[in-house]
Structure 1
Amino acid sequence: MRTGSTSAAAAAPRVAVVIPAFNEEQTVGAVVQAALTLTPEVIVASDGSGDDTAGAARRAGAQVVELPVNAGKGPALLAALHAAQAEFVVMLDADLVGLTREHLELMLRPVLAGTLDMSIGVFEGGGFVTDWGNKLTPHLSGQRACRRDWLLGVPDLAVERWPEPAITAHLKSCGARWDYVELPQVAQVVKEKKRGFWQGAKARTKMYAHLMTYRARRKT
């Protein structure tokens, strides 16, 4: 029985959590701590952050990759994926609040079971603004679980400042099995709160303009 238990444990799939982050020193530590309850392989890619994002992530227990300049979420995600070793990955935003191990397991479960190639987490009950935005454009969610090699194979992953449209486009083009998974009581700190109303609104508008024009830009 002891031998069998050891073999089963050794055969358990390895999971890494990858977290692209830009100027998220206030929240990245809590996200890292939640991720560490699932796996010791937690990697934060600090995307040329001008604050103490990298330090906060290290103090929380993450492995940190530091990009010298702010290149965008796509390049940061790729850097974190290259630093990871696990077969499966959970991709998270660095500004989440309310995240627990149970949320990570909700996304991972269908992927580990082989019923989905990717699960996409959407917020439920975490707050009106983030719930509304997430449900209006769930295909743009940054919370996902899949095989690491599949994510590394996404075209344009490293050239897109925000990679979610490229990931979703690849899901559709390659016939992958995917679905949405609700994440109860999880939310994001909105840009208007982090940067002030006008700067936050400007950043949000710029982000959505880039995200929503992905198809048009790929055709040119």
Structure 2
Amino acid sequence: MPDSPTAEAPSVAVVIPAYNEAETVADVVRVGLSLTPEVVVASDGSSDDTAAVARAAGARVVELPENGGKGAALRAALDATGATLIVMLDADLTGLTTQHLHALLRPVQEGRLDMSIGVFEGGGFVTDWGNKLTPHLSGQRVCRREWLLAVPHLGEERWPEPAITAHLKNTGARWDYVELPEVGQVVKEKKRGFWKGAGARTRMYADLLTFRVRRKKP
């Protein structure tokens, strides 16, 4: 139910799971801070300067000692905030603005949706193509913290998006996609070199697309 005009606005936190994203995380943090003073970066066992760069940009930083996957980092970030509404962002976004965050936040803040999911539009061929083929795997989302913490196995999934999407269906939550014009991501092939990046991408999609099979096992 939408909050009444006189009700106190729910608190908002931006959470950013990050693994070796020192080149881009500061820009994402700064945009997050333009929306809310509470920006939490969970450095997932990064071996570069991700934590230091995020901290210098103004984020609260949680440092995981080992790389446990995006789900573990997301859970650590959620544990570090008590905000009512959570804006989830990837650490390697490009072209992100405050307006994009407002577009994601508004339908949840106003009570029209339980979750909004951001999809790229015009941010680059590779990221647009991948996002449009599998929009349900987007890492740009807004929802209530309490709902997100109830997602089964959230902190155990290396890539938690399928678990979150399954929970949407299982709980009958109201959700919709929100276009994010001119937003893209730095592709893995550029960050790690072609062959290492392609291998990482293949492993990521294999893990994402086998979620149902893995979770059905006894």
Per the normalisation by structure 1, the TM-score is: 0.95
From 113, 116, 135, the equivalent of 2:113 is 116
Does 2:183 align with 1:186? yes
Does 2:97 align with 1:73? no
Aligned identity (percent) is 74
Deviation at 1:12, TM superposition (A): 2.0
Q: Deviations over 1:19-64 (max 9, x none)?
A: 0000000000000000000000000000000000000000000000
Q: Deviations over 1:122-179 (max 9, x none)?
A: 0001011100000000000000000011001100101100000000000001100001
Q: What is the correspondence of 1:119-138 to structure 2 with a 5 Å cutoff?
A: 119-138=116-135
Does 2:147 align with 1:150? yes
Q: Deviations over 1:51-98 (max 9, x none)?
A: 000000000000000000000000000000010121001000000011
Letter in 1 for 2:173: A
Aligned to 2:156, what secondary structure does the other structure show?
coil
Aligned to 2:195, what secondary structure does the other structure show?
helix
Structure 1 unpaired stretches of 5+:
1-6
Q: Distance in 1 between matches of 2:97 and 2:60?
A: 19
1:42 aligns with: 39
1:4 aligns with: none
Greater than 2 Å deviation, 4+ residue runs: none
From 93, 97, 101, the equivalent of 1:96 is 93
1:85 aligns with: 82
From 136, 139, 143, the equivalent of 1:139 is 136
Q: Distance in 2 between matches of 1:91 and 1:211?
A: 18
Q: Distance in 2 between matches of 1:146 and 1:101?
A: 17
Q: Distance in 1 between matches of 2:75 and 2:188?
A: 23
From 55, 66, 72, the equivalent of 2:52 is 55
Q: Distance in 2 between matches of 1:98 and 1:13?
A: 27
2:11 aligns with: 14
Does 2:161 align with 1:164? yes
Letter in 1 for 2:199: K
Aligned to 2:82, what secondary structure does the other structure show?
coil
- Backbone CA RMSD of aligned residues: 1.1
Q: Distance in 1 between matches of 2:121 and 2:212?
A: 28
Length, aligned pairs only: 213
Q: Deviations over 1:183-203 (max 9, x none)?
A: 000000000000000000000
Does 2:164 align with 1:177? no
From 9, 30, 40, the equivalent of 2:27 is 30
Q: Distance in 2 between matches of 1:65 and 1:200?
A: 26
Deviation at 1:13, TM superposition (A): 1.7
Per the normalisation by structure 2, the TM-score is: 0.96
